[in-house]
Structures are given as structure tokens and as C-alpha cells.
A and B are shown apart, each in its own frame.
Chain A
């Protein structure tokens, strides 16, 4: 299930299940969105991106959905594995501005 920790919401899923991580972004003018995975003590690792002229993009085991009407992004991970345990951040960009990161969600995979 999903719970809110001290600062970071946590999503716990059983190994093999699908995970859905949600993100609300703030700038309706953002034209590029990226999902990052961050493991403890490491920098963010690119997972998948999507441009604002798309509403869905698929990668290997991951799918990103974009709903511009409600400014919502989601990351779907199929057949979640223990190695997927990490904190996931969405980030938005408008033009040449810096990435603005969302609050993040900790994904905990139960073996």
C-alpha cells in the first residue's frame, strides 16, 4: 500500500506485481518530463522521458503516462523486482530552464 512518511511517500509492492508511481507537476508550460531513479547515496539515474506532445511512452518494463489536463505524470513498472527498490522522482522542464524535481516516492519491493 501507499503511505506518507516524514517527508517522502512510500509505495510497497510485492515482487512480480506492477507498480504505479504518481507525480503532480506544477508548470503547465513544461514541455519535457523525465523520471529518475535514485538509490541510496547515489545520483539520479535516468529512466524514461516524455515530451508534452505525447501522452504515453514505453520503455523496457516501464511506461510513462502524461495527462496535461490535470498536470499529472505516472510511471508504471511491470513485474517489479527487488532491484527496483529506490526513490523515484519526476522532473519537469520548460525550454532551457533547469530541471524542477517533484517530491519523490520511495518504492519498496517485498520479496
Chain B
């Protein structure tokens, strides 16, 4: 079946530094990649939608200059958390969609110290 490989699975970074999260669709072309954030004991909240080759569309309240999304190819999308702060600590999940429905990555646990 369709697989989205997400890396890293866990990352700890210092406050003020940047972290890049990658999602690769392994056996399908992800024309659209959705990025979600999930805080403990809460549901997944959509952060942004990116279509291959286009600028991402961000949800209200999500800072586009802080959460940089690149979707330069049909198999790779990245989310860079810039100048990370402790409040950015969360579980980040990508979801790729193409002709195979919605396929989720395994998530990245980001801890900012």
C-alpha cells in the first residue's frame, strides 16, 4: 500500500534553532501534502496545505514565516520550524494525498529545550 516516510521520528533541539522534518511518499505521487500538529491529549490540527510546486496555504493562526513548508517534488515535502521555542514542542504529522487517498507519516515528536 501507499507509504509516507517521515523523518526524524524524534528530535530535541535548543530554543532558537531550526528543525527540518521530511516526508517522502515512497510508492505514490503526493500532489498535496497536509501538515498537522498534535498536542498531548488533543486531536490533529491542520497547520497548512501544500500542493507540489506551489506556495503552501496556512491555517489561521499559523505563522508562515515560522513554519516553512517546501513541496518541490511529488515525492518530498519538508516542514522547517524556524527559531523554535518550547511552545513549539508538539507531535507533527504529514499526510500525503494523490490518487490513493490520504496516507499519514508516522509523526515527529519535537521537543524544544
Question: Bound state CA distance, A7 and B36, in angstroms?
Answer: 18
What residues of A have a CB within 8 angstroms of the CB of B106 in the complex? 42-43
Q: Is the CB of B46 within 8 A of A44?
A: no
CB distance from B99 to the nearest CB of A (A): 13
What residues of A have a CB within 8 angstroms of the CB of B101 in the complex? 46, 49
What residues of B have a CB within 8 angstroms of the CB of A44 in the complex? 44, 93, 104
What residues of A have a CB within 8 angstroms of the CB of B42 in the complex? 7-8, 103-104
B72-113 residues with Cβ-Cβ distance < 8 A to A are: 91, 93, 95, 101-102, 104-107, 109
The 8 closest A-B pairs by CB, nearest first: A43-B104, A7-B41, A43-B107, A43-B106, A101-B44, A101-B43, A8-B41, A44-B104
The chain B residues found within 8 Å of chain A, CB to CB, are 6, 32, 34, 36, 41-46, 49, 91, 93, 95, 101-102, 104-107, 109
